[in-house]
Amino acid sequence: MAALAWLLIPLVAVLVATVWGSWAARTRVTGDGSSLADYERFREAMQKSHSG
């Protein structure tokens, strides 16, 4: 029975590492789209020449 336990420990470690690796490598969605569009509009507004 002790030999079976020593065989199960690395198997459980591999399963835990696989789950953690897939969780760490997941694709994350950031909400930068609207923020970047706002910044681009700001840049364009600042680059316009004002005649006065």
pLDDT, residue 9, reads 95
| Residue-level pLDDT, tens digit, the chain, 52 residues | 889 989 999 999 999 999 999 999 998 877 777 888 899 999 999 998 766 5
- The pTM of the full predicted model, rounded to 2 decimals, is 0.51
- CA dist., res. 12 & res. 2, Å (int): 15
CA trace torsion 37, 42, 48, 51 (10° rounding): 150
pLDDT, residue 51, reads 60
Amino acid at 5: A
pLDDT, residue 2, reads 87
> DSSP per residue over 3-17, as a string?
HHHHHHHHHHHHHHH
b/e burial code for range 14-34 (CB count within 10 A of at least 16 → b): eeeeeeeeeeeeeeeeeeeee
